[in-house]
A and B are shown apart, each in its own frame.
Chain A
Amino acid sequence: MNVIEATGLGKRYGSTWALRECSLAIPAGHVVALVGPNGAGKTTLLNLAVGLTAPSAGTVTVLGDTRAGSPAARDGIAFVAQDAPLHKNLSVADMLHLTRNLNLHFDQGYAEARLAELAIPLNRKSGKLSGGQQAQLALTLALSRRPQLLVLDEPMSSLDPLARHDFMATVMAAVADDGVSVVLSSHALAELERVADYLVILSNGSVQVAGEVDDLLACHRVFSGPDAEANRYTEHLDVVHALHSKAQTHLLVRTDGSADPVPPGWKTRPISLEELAMAYLREPGAASLPRPSRAWQLEPTEVAR
């Protein structure tokens, strides 16, 4: 089952396309990191998936073949928007009651136990909680609905490092216990490296990279060698990004996973997820960038497994 599947998806605001020709299939059972620079269309893609926005072109389905925003989709997807919007004048207990009333499923026991563990008082107004507590409350409300898919838009952008750690711990506990699929957008790549096992990179409103982290890491390597010889090899290699330092050139290369012959005088090493993402983010121009392969031409059937 694909938790999110988009075909030719586009969203236009006025004359500008926030998202264009986006085709993507995210399989269930992953923690998906959706990364991209500001304005890449991350929030637009998530809003389309949760049914807050209607597409200008193409289609998006969720949780199998369910139309985004349909009753079944709303029931199965919990969404925490950026900055965790809550009714600031309602108490924590009222927010629980509100959410319980607005949904078919709500696990009051889980919510109360979770908030007790976080030491968030039930009688405190939501607006009086710290930023970290507000994020935790919004997350707890979402998880208490026992969704099949949890969608988080920039959940940690306003949190301090400790609060980020606690927030992700809550998410990962739910993943471990309940098997919930998670899609979260962020530009805090370092945090995601520990938790995400699926990466989607959006750039200029279209998908640049999509795949399981292990596969992506397996088919990218860094080649380092003398500057002078760099040009000779770039012709033969699928170079995503080249970094020239003094006398040395570092080439981020997409390989087919088999051990490419390493030219004499050159060294090769595996790549980290953050390096990989940064390299693609640095090369957003579709024309200049060798797209991440014919093999992952982002046909839904190719990415879906």
Chain B
Amino acid sequence: MTALTMPAHSERDASQRPVPWRRMAWVTWRQQRLTVAGLVTVLGAVSLYLLFIGQQARSFSGVAGHSLTLTAALFQVIPALIGAFVGAPVLAKELETGTFRYTWTQGFGRARWTVATLAPLAVAVTVLAGAVGFLFSWCYSPLIGGHYGSNLLDGNTFDLHGVTFAAWTLTAFSIGVLAGILIRRVIPAMLATMVAWSGLAVVTGVFLRPHYEAPLVSSKPTLPSTDWVMSQWWTRGGKPVSSSAIDQVLQKAGATVNGGSVTQSPGSALGNMSPTQYLLHHGFTQFQSYQPASRFWPFQWIEGGWLFALSLLLMGTAVWLVHRRAA
């Protein structure tokens, strides 16, 4: 075999300058372009659908309102899917296929490689999801306060609007990245991402979101349907009345109370009054605690803010693990 002559070592710099960051631009693009294409395709399809529905909602809102309520639930899975398909494989694939032994021993350095790979993807995910989120807000706005009883802070749609949709998607991506390095295999990391993200979303909706600000309390009998009513209770003469006491009062008046629902028997003392009106007439006062619709944007930024901070923390942890972890 003939030997090729290799030129002698050029004098290596005594003070090592690192490989420039811009060199990673091509690398990240070449390695992630299929992922980005998939991301754009899926979110593009969702956007077209939202545009179509939004147009419908503005012409004859009935049909659109119905289908939007149905699809709102489907939209909830988009961040989880992005976390699983975009976030989880970034590190898990390197570890599963063994190519980390190549990538992480090149001159660029593994922690810097991780940062240079994650940052553009995180930005792409956030920007694209943000665009879809604001499109959703536009599409949804004709329905607010309509006869679908939609309130803006409702758990079904709150996290689909502009800021929070982007933040939740970035969070899912970050969970995926961290799951990837912890689990080191693609498919289990994807599943773990979906489970962890869903758990966080449920916990947030049920336990955290109602407490971003202390709820207001009102004794007004009716609140705008865009407000988010969280609980209600009755008082009489300044003292709280238990719900069983209320039930007794209504039963005495001839209504049938079955669980939470009140049925008026014909010819009862309630007459034409609703049970609420009847109680108000007889010296009871209803109090409701609620989050007013005006808190929509503050809540969006609160949730977006802490999710963004959490995402940075998760991705920072992933970079630190790459830097530290025994491979």
**Contact surface of A with B, Cβ cutoff 8 Å:** 11, 13, 47, 50-54, 71-72, 74-79, 81, 83, 85-88, 90, 94, 97-99, 101-105, 107, 110, 113-114, 117, 138, 143, 145-146, 148, 166, 169-170, 173-174, 176-178
- Which of B8-16, B197-205, B256-264, B274-282 has 4 or more CB atoms under 8 Å from chain A? B8-16
Question: Ordered nearest first, which 3 A-B pairs have the shortest CB separation?
Answer: A81-B101, A173-B3, A102-B106
Q: How far is the CB of A267 from chain B (nearest CB, A)?
A: 40
Cα distance A254–B285 when bound, in Å?
102
Chain B residues with CB under 8 Å of A138's CB are: 102
Cα distance A150–B316 when bound, in Å?
32
Chain B residues with CB under 8 Å of A79's CB are: 101, 105
Cβ proximity bits B2-45 to A, threshold 8 Å, 1 near / 0 not: 11111111101000111100011011001100000000000000
Q: How far is the CB of B189 from chain A (nearest CB, A)?
A: 19
The answer to whether A146 touches B16 (Cβ under 8 A) is: no
Q: Which of B8, B10, B108 contacts A102 (CB 8 A)?
A: B108
Q: Which of B7, B23, B98, B106 contacts A85 (CB 8 A)?
A: B98
Q: Which of B2, B6, B99, B326 contacts A110 (CB 8 A)?
A: B6
Chain B: how many interface residues by the 8 Å CB criterion?
Answer: 38
Q: Which of B4, B100, B109 contacts A74 (CB 8 A)?
A: B109
The answer to whether B9 touches A148 (Cβ under 8 A) is: yes
Cα distance A283–B174 when bound, in Å?
51
Residue among B24, B108, B324 with most chain A CB within 10 A: B108
The answer to whether B12 touches A76 (Cβ under 8 A) is: yes
Q: Which residue of B lies closest to A141 (CB)?
A: B102
The answer to whether A178 touches B9 (Cβ under 8 A) is: yes
27 contacts between A and B (CB under 8 A): A52-B100, A52-B104, A52-B105, A71-B18, A74-B106, A74-B107, A74-B108, A75-B12, A75-B16, A78-B105, A79-B101, A85-B98, A85-B99, A85-B100, A85-B101, A87-B102, A90-B30, A97-B30, A99-B106, A102-B106, A103-B106, A103-B108, A105-B10, A113-B4, A146-B9, A148-B9, A166-B1
Cα distance A74–B24 when bound, in Å?
16
**Contact surface of B with A, Cβ cutoff 8 Å:** 1-10, 12, 16-19, 23-24, 26-27, 30-31, 97-109, 113, 324, 326-327
Q: Which of A71, A81, A90 contacts B98 (CB 8 A)?
A: A81
The answer to whether B101 touches A102 (Cβ under 8 A) is: no
Chain B residues with CB under 8 Å of A148's CB are: 9
Q: How far is the CB of A78 from chain B (nearest CB, A)?
A: 8
Q: How far is the CB of B13 from chain A (nearest CB, A)?
A: 8
Q: How far is the CB of B187 from chain A (nearest CB, A)?
A: 18
Cα distance A170–B3 when bound, in Å?
8
